[in-house]
Amino acid sequence: MVIILVRRCVKLDKEAEFLASFDREKPTSNPAFIDETLTKVNDSQDLPEAMRSLHISGVNCVTYLNVAYWKSAQSFYDHFKPSADYFDPKTEVCKRERIVLDAGMLDKIPLG
């Protein structure tokens, strides 16, 4: 199992449209898809600096991080066929960024 993080930078006035689109694209029928969580980056200036040291927030946008669990990176790639510079210009301000993490001990925990 792998964890795939996808950073999405959403236009400030298109958040509802983005969330609806994200929900429609959920790959629930793919047997290699395990689970996912869509999280919204909290970059509040009220947080201590030590809690804001991983800089993934975009500029002039709402930043979301999709944490997706797949059987393999290849299965994610085969399903979405992502390109390195793709983004939806209707709802996003810049290209999506991805990283694949080894699940480590999460392989032992049943998800979903």
CA contacts within 13 A on the Cβ side of 85: 0
Query: How far is CA 70 from each of CA 14, 18, 34, 44, 100, rounded to the nearest angstrom?
Result: 28, 22, 5, 31, 10
Question: Would you place residue 109 in the very low, low, confident or very high pLDDT band (cuts 50, 70, 90)?
Answer: low
What CA–CA distance (Å, rounded) separates 40 from 102? Answer: 22
Question: Would you place residue 87 in the very low, low, confident or very high pLDDT band (cuts 50, 70, 90)?
Answer: very high
DSSP, res 29: T
- Is pLDDT of 112 > 80? no
- Is pLDDT of 111 > 80? no
Helix (H, G, I), strand (E, B) or coil at 69: strand
**Which tokens belong to 82?**
């992502």
pTM attached to this predicted model: 0.87
What's at 6, amino acid-wise?
V
Helix (H, G, I), strand (E, B) or coil at 50: helix
List the domains of the chain with CATH numbers.
Answer: 2-45+55-107 (3.30.70.100)
Q: Report, as an integer, the average pLDDT of 74-98.
A: 95
Tens-digit pLDDT profile for residues 29-42: 999 999 999 999 99
Q: What is the pLDDT of residue 62?
A: 96
What's at 78, amino acid-wise?
D
